[in-house]
Amino acid sequence: MRDVTYESHGVPLEEYQLTRKDHREQQSSEDAGRWAKKIIAEKKAEEAADPVLKAHRDEVARRAWKMITSRKTPDHELMRWRVRLYCGHIVETRRHAESARPTFAGASSMQCPECGKDPSYIVAFEPLGLLAEPPKPRKPAPAPTPRPPTRAQLERRLAELEAEVSELRRQAAASGSGDP
């Protein structure tokens, strides 16, 4: 995992006055939610008229969901954040630890678990720490110790060496130089 410098914006636990930017961002979040609901309603109307299209989209959605849920993000890769929401509630949330802010990657608002406002823009935040400590680096496995040769392997090697010595003696006798 790369080094990340986590950012803070405001202090969620202190008194907070909503800014014009907060109101604008909340409005933008609500507009995006309305737009998404409109698109979903259009798609549902298409599917109601075409059951084959609905079955295909359902299958694609199942496969996508299976891919998304097939790998759980380990706890040591999740950062805990304290956030103040537009509705005024202060809650804890989690984001991937590689994000320096909890508002990155389209996560600038969320449903408030206390009052249910959805979406509720994140107006202030501070990092609290990783959900779990990273695992200790694993020590490399020791190199395997070679097994001692078996009796059969030793006997084969001895026979090879004896044959080599015999050949060398024969060559030396043939050249007239005598025994080595």
- Closest to 13 measured CA to CA, from 87, 84, 111, 93: 84
Buried b (16+ CB within 10 A) or exposed e, 101-123: bbbeeeebbbebeeeebebbbbb
pLDDT score of 38: 96
- Contact (CB, 8 A) for 57 and 76: no
Model pTM above 0.85:
no
What distance in Å separates the CA atoms of residue 20 and residue 93, rounded to the nearest whole number?
Answer: 24
Give the residue extent of every domain in the chain.
20-130, 147-180
Helix pair angle (20-49, 51-69), 10° resolution: 130
What distance in Å separates the CA atoms of residue 9 and residue 108, rounded to the nearest whole number?
Answer: 12
pLDDT score of 174: 85
Instruction: From first to last of the 180 residues of the chain, give the pLDDT tens digit.
Output: 568 899 999 888 888 999 999 999 999 999 999 999 999 999 999 999 999 999 999 999 999 999 988 888 899 999 999 999 999 999 999 999 999 999 987 789 999 999 999 999 999 999 999 999 888 888 888 888 888 889 999 999 999 999 999 999 999 888 875 555
Query: Residues, the chain, total?
Result: 180
